[in-house]
Amino acid sequence: MALRSEVSTRPGWYLLGPAFVAAIAYVDPGNVAANVSAGAQFGFLLLWVIVVANVMAGLVQYLSAKLGLVTGRSLPEVVGDHSRRPTRIAYWLQAELVAMATDLAEVVGGAIALHLLFELPLLLGGVITGAVSMLLLAVQDRRGQRRFELVISGLLLIIAIGFLASLFVAPPPAAELADGLVPRFQGAESVLLATAILGATIMPHAVYLHSGLSRDRHGRPPAGPQRRRLLRITRWDVGLAMVVAGTVNAAMLVVAATNLQGLVDGDSIEGAHAAVRDALGPTIALFFAIGLLASGLASTSVGAYAGAMVMQGLLRISVPLLWRRLITLIPALVVLAIGVDPTRALVLSQVVLSFGIPFALVPVIRLTADRALMGADANHRLTSLLGWAITAVVTLLNVVLIYLTVRG
């Protein structure tokens, strides 16, 4: 009854939010590394990849959210219900590996940002990033999901300002922007970077998480007007969140294409920050570093939240979020402690993530097309066809990414 009242009386904008939490995965430090590298090496050439990747991600995220609304269960829970114990354990192990790779990128990104802002050692920056992310998770644990959504959305706004500020100081040429929207490549390296952009955009943990976020926020509305309204609002939620994420990602590439193309070390985050400072001044460089820091803090919190949801859904084990935070934080701190090049670590983390993408996409497409599970809200045949096409393209490109990375 409470749900019926809230759905029928609350304005649509109040019911937005879950997609903006999931969208943090699309503007994490892995995206910064991939987009900056693409812009520095190839200019505006791969701008179209960001647009295509965000359209693909939007469909996948909506299907995940729809699964949570219609079934009242998260994607990991539904997968667990349809799997035997050995399969659940194997599935969880790959998801756990992906979660650690995700956290690696996010903690390293936060450490780099703190180094740029305060010249802190990377290891200390990683510890601080982990500690602050625990505080953010405490907000969700103690104040509820709505407050957590507001905090994460606020950080998303900071990320957007941080990476969009330079475009107002030095707007990119309109003709080159338009040219970057024409699909094409220039050699194997451009394919590698395009795949890295795609891998950094369609993130397994965001797919797992969104179903649980929608369920926790809206419950399981009965079939009829309430559910139809929530599904319509969810489409707006996903659409708006992906427009924000896509604009921020495009801004990262455009800034690099405008200011860093051809520069030595311009494809590293530290080199990008130095070049932005030299070209646009210390204030814009400060915005860049603050945006990177907000990206690391928000995304590592959301990643830990997703990891706890996956563990609970597949293993039926409930681990407190703060303990969950420690599980995936330790590998990232080890990487920082042994002195691995941070930008290289970010790139390698995207390779590991590529292994987990099919394990997230295949079940969400298959399950949302199942009429026995979804009833009248099962996917239209065209929707399923698009979903399978996205899965095939993303999987193929990630095989290419793994091959080119190993060969190189």
Helix and strand counts by DSSP (H, E) for the chain: 18, 0
pLDDT digits (tens, 9 = 90+) for 344-385: 777 677 667 777 888 999 999 999 999 999 999 999 999 999
pLDDT tens for residues 53-99?
A: 999 999 999 999 999 999 999 999 999 998 888 999 999 999 888 88
**What backbone phi and psi angles, to 5 degrees, belong to 280?**
-120, -5
Distance of CA 367 to the CA centre of its chain: 22
Res 9: pLDDT: 58
Two tokens at 288? 């860049």
Pairwise CA distance, residues 332 & 338, whole Å: 10
Q: Where are the domains of the chain?
A: 15-407
pLDDT at res. 7: 56
Mean local confidence (pLDDT), 218-241: 92
What's the pTM? 0.91
Query: In 90-101, which positions are buried (b, 16+ CB within 10 angstroms) versus exposed (e)?
Result: ebbeebbebbbb
In this prediction, what percent of the chain has a pLDDT beyond 70?
Answer: 93
What is the rounded CA–CA span in Å between residue 285 and residue 283? 5
Predicted confidence at residue 1, as pLDDT, reads: 41
Contact yes or no for 367/67 (Cβ under 8 A): yes
Q: What is residue 102's predicted lDDT score, i.e. its pLDDT?
A: 83
Give mean pLDDT, residues 237-258.
94
pLDDT digits (tens, 9 = 90+) for 8-39: 556 666 678 899 999 998 898 888 888 988 99
Angle among Cα 376, 382, 388 to the nearest 5 degrees reads 105
pLDDT at 103: 84
Q: Compute CA distances 407 → 17, 188, 189, 347, whole Å.
A: 42, 11, 12, 15
Contact between 295 and 132 under an 8 Å Cβ cutoff? The reply is: no
| Predicted local distance difference test score (pLDDT) of residue 2 | 45
- Dist. CA 164–CA 249, nearest whole Å: 9
CA torsion, ordered 55, 59, 60, 66, to nearest 10 deg: 150
The CATH architecture to which 15-407 belongs is Up-down Bundle (1.20)
Judged by average pLDDT, the poorest of 37-51, 139-153, 259-273, 284-298 is: 259-273
- Give the pLDDT band (50/70/90) at residue 397: confident
Alpha carbons 109 and 105: distance in angstroms, whole number: 6
Which amino acid makes up residue 14?
Answer: Y
CA-based max dimension of the chain:
62
The rounded percent of the chain whose pLDDT value lies above 90 is 49
How high does pLDDT run on average in the chain?
Answer: 87
Give whole-number Cα distances, 278 to 201, 286, 287, in Å: 29, 12, 14
Asked whether residue 232 carries a pLDDT value surpassing 90, the answer given is yes
Confidence of residue 111 (pLDDT cuts 50, 70, 90): very high
Least confident of 108-122, 256-270, 284-298: 256-270
